[in-house]
Amino acid sequence: MRTGLPMPGPVRRGELDAVLVLRHAGAQRVRLRYELVGPEEAPVVALAGGISAHRHAAAHAEDPSPGWVQGLLDPGRTLAPPGRRVLGVDYLGADGTLDVPLDTADQADALALLLEALAIPRLEAFIGYSYGALVGLQLAARHPQRLQRLIAVSGAHRPHPYASAWRALQRQAVALGQLQCADAAGLSLARQFAMLSYRTPEEFGERFAAPPRLVNGRVRVAAEDYLEAAGARFVARTAVTAWLRLSESIDLHRVDPAQVQVPTTVIAVEGDRLVPLADAVALVEALGPGSRLRILRSPYGHDAFLKETARVDALLAAELDPPPPRAPAAEAGECSGASV
């Protein structure tokens, strides 16, 4: 066993076979894969990311491979065992074997089924980033008894038309690749398009300001190496069918905020091109009492959750482990802000 990694307490990984009635495809046999890390007596928090995230959130002594949100569960962090037990799942369709239309409601129903099988009556919180935020909103609307609190980061109750247009073009790139028997090339190009929507012009301006080069008589701009490397990494770990179906499922997503009765914190990133701040504001206004908005300013745009580990951890601490109220005299003249 590799040393130098924290012992998280018990680690439970497993699979559950079930039949689930999908919103657009009827009854389907599915396999639910999960990882549960932390002491059995600790409160359980579900942590879910974008469509490329998976059940392994962070490295630990029993599985030292990097997780999708490496660092957020380091010792001393808000979610780190032994204080909490963290549940991660593989999304329905993530292995590419379920080639039917998928919906975020299907993902929420699958999670509720898994919680029942694991004898977890209620989550302390569901923390969802990007696609995970959409699933969390569905879980809160469809299975409110399963969670105490929802923290939705960079996700709203409906997709923005601009973001849907980005994804439609990405899917067309994959389709062109398939027509030419070049699935990997199409998926790589789709991922490269996606990287432009995840990040901000400000970041690209700082990182890729070098002048273009002539390579074999063609112009090559400074960002191309970065984009191609991102595409190659994605292709190596992602099935084309999985990506297509999960991309579509973002655009099928719809939640009526009036149906969400769970206390909800919406965290929006200023400059997020996929989930604009205005959509987060509209969501919070529609959620009504018990909800609030926090705004994160970051050059990383939609990817801020993955890059701003310390700041995201501080936001989670404020929501899950708030300090005790101050004495009235200490509060006089103070006000609280919603931006960080």
Question: Is the C-alpha dihedral spanning 84, 66, 240, 269 positive or negative?
Answer: positive
Active site residue 272: yes
Distance CA 26, CA 195 (A): 33
> Active site residue: 54, 143, 157, 302, which one?
302
> Active site residue: 103, 272, 303, 313, which one?
272
Mean pLDDT of the chain: 92
Distance CA 188, CA 235 (A): 6
- Closest Cα partner for 93 from 58, 133, 135, 125? 135
Q: Is the separation of the CB atoms in 64 and 5 below 8 Å?
A: yes
Strands 26-37 and 85-89: antiparallel
Q: What's 130's DSSP letter?
A: T
Average pLDDT for 239-259? 97
Per-residue pLDDT at 150: 98
Per-residue pLDDT at 288: 80
Distance CA 18, CA 32 (A): 8
Rounded to whole angstroms, the maximal C-alpha distance in the chain is 72
Q: How confident is the model at residue 2 (pLDDT cuts 50, 70, 90)?
A: very low
Within 10 Å of residue 312's Cβ, how many Cβ atoms? 25
Query: Helices 104-117 and 240-252: crossing angle, nearest 10°?
Result: 100
Active site residue 60: no
Active site residue 302: yes
Distance CA 11, CA 1 (A): 14
Q: How confident is the model at residue 8 (pLDDT cuts 50, 70, 90)?
A: low
Phi, psi of 27 (to 5 degrees): -70, 130
